[in-house]
Structure 1
Amino acid sequence: MPKYRIIVDLSDRQLYLLDGNIVIRAFPVGIGKMLTRTPTGVYTIINKQANPGGPFGAFWMGLSKPHYGIHGTNDPSSIGREVSLGCIRMYNSDVLQLKDLVPVHTVVTIRE
């Protein structure tokens, strides 16, 4: 059984899915803007919700830092940019792939 973990690299705006220490997938992401930066640190996925509504696209994965998550978007042009209120945005097709691979309690490291 693979032991997946996620690294979000804010400097290159990529989310990496790792199996152990091997990157097996990379996805482009949108991150927090200057006034609402994405918080760095080590968190875990605490919940998952399909079709959360609003700007959250097709899927939401909440992090152990309250009010922050990894989610889809209804604005695909925002991917790769500093535009969010601190959450990590993904293309809907990418977040749907990721949610099938990572269970609740997956560790998410967000770094500069």
Structure 2
Amino acid sequence: MSTTSETPVLDTLAAMTVDSLERCGLAPDMLILTRIAALAVSDAPPISYLAHIDPGLRAGLTADQLQDVLVAIAPIVGTARVMTAAGNIAAALGVAIAVAVADAEIEAEAQG
């Protein structure tokens, strides 16, 4: 395999995401909600949800909207998948908060 990058997998995923966004006509909030539903259906790990936290915040999504998506898909995908998704979303949020706190502490130390 020939590559000029040290992160070919991440680069490929980023390129796929950009291509998807360019070809999709959904509003940003609907796009993220659709992806959250797809992640729940595919039993995705927390890291997959983590990748959607910042775009979700920028799209103005709320916790209520995320819960509504899980409620909407529960009859189709089942309680086990929905409960796993809820736990994975919570884990992803925990990681995002920890990273934000660490970044704030580093910035505070650098300023004074």
Pairwise TM-score range, normalised by the shorter structure: under 0.3
TM-score by length of 1: 0.24
TM-score relative to the length of structure 2: 0.24
Higher CA-based Rg? 2
More strand by share: 1
